């Protein structure tokens, strides 16, 4: 199969390209769009570092081909901030609650947590733990990340 034209709206900007069918959405985002905040850790769906929103749903962009995202909306970590360019409430909470150390995993966590809290604005601790289980952090004990999620959900840290 030859190369395929795609049109993907990324953070509100329409991106058009001709891609090989094997090109992943994560590579498309990083290499074709120059948006390197989407990190690539495992490249097989385990670590969650590559998480983006695809038509609003959190997906692992290393497991999605760019051609599968044709005609859809993608939001990356670069699109998570407020309209004034400031930090989103989730980003602010991660900073405030020390929810990061090296930061490699952080974009994936922020995207996952943003979608999670949109769908579950008042989660229980068990729901938070379950929601975070799809993102791996090699640096922290997760306490800061859990505290960040709690604080955004209005339950304090
Ligand atoms: S790089 Fe996609 S889940 Fe790890
Ligand atoms: S802060 Fe380093 S991997 Fe999570």
State pLDDT tens for residues 54-72.
999 999 999 999 999 999 9
E-strand ranges in 24-75 read 51-54, 57-60, 73-75
- Model pLDDT for residues 71-98, shown as the tens digit of each residue: 999 999 999 998 788 999 999 999 999 9
Supply the residue whose CA is at minimum distance from atom 4 of ligand 2.
137
Ligand 1: residue of 46, 65, 106, 107 to mutate (most ligand atoms within 8 A of CB) is 46
| Tens-place pLDDT, residues 88-129 | 999 999 999 999 999 999 999 999 999 999 999 999 999 999
Q: Chain-wide mean pLDDT for the chain?
A: 95
For 33-68, give one letter per residue: b (16+ CB within 10 A) or e: bebebbbbbeeeeebbbbbbbbeeebbbbbebbbbb
pTM of the model: 0.96
pLDDT digits (tens, 9 = 90+) for 132-146: 999 999 997 899 999
Ligand 2 within 6 A of 148 CB? no
**Percent of the chain predicted with pLDDT > 90:** 92
Q: In the chain, which ranges are continuous DSSP H helix? A: 25-27, 89-96, 106-119, 125-132, 143-152
The pLDDT assigned to 84 comes to 85
Q: Does 140 contact ligand 2 (Cβ within 6 A)?
A: yes
CA of 20 to the centre of ligand 2 (A): 32
Enter the DSSP assignment of 133: T
Q: Give the pLDDT score at 156.
A: 65
pLDDT of residue 57: 98
Which residues are bridge partners to 13 per DSSP? 10
């Amino acid at each position: 199969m030859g190369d395929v034209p795609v049109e993907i709206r990324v953070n509100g900007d329409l991106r058009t390209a001709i891609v090989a069918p094997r090109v992943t959405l994560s590579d498309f985002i990083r290499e074709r769009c120059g948006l390197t905040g989407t990190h690539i850790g495992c490249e097989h769906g385990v670590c969650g570092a590559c998480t983006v929103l695809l038509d609003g749903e959190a997906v692992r962009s290393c497991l999605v081909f760019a051609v599968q995202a044709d005609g859809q909306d993608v939001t990356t970590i670069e699109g998570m901030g407020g309209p004034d360019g400031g930090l989103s409430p989730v980003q602010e909470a991660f900073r405030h609650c020390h929810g990061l150390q090296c930061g490699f995993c952080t974009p994936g966590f922020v995207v996952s947590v943003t979608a999670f809290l949109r769908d579950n604005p008042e989660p229980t601790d068990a729901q938070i733990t379950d929601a975070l289980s799809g993102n791996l952090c090699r640096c922290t004990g997760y306490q800061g990340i859990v505290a960040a999620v709690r604080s955004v959900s209005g339950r304090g840290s």
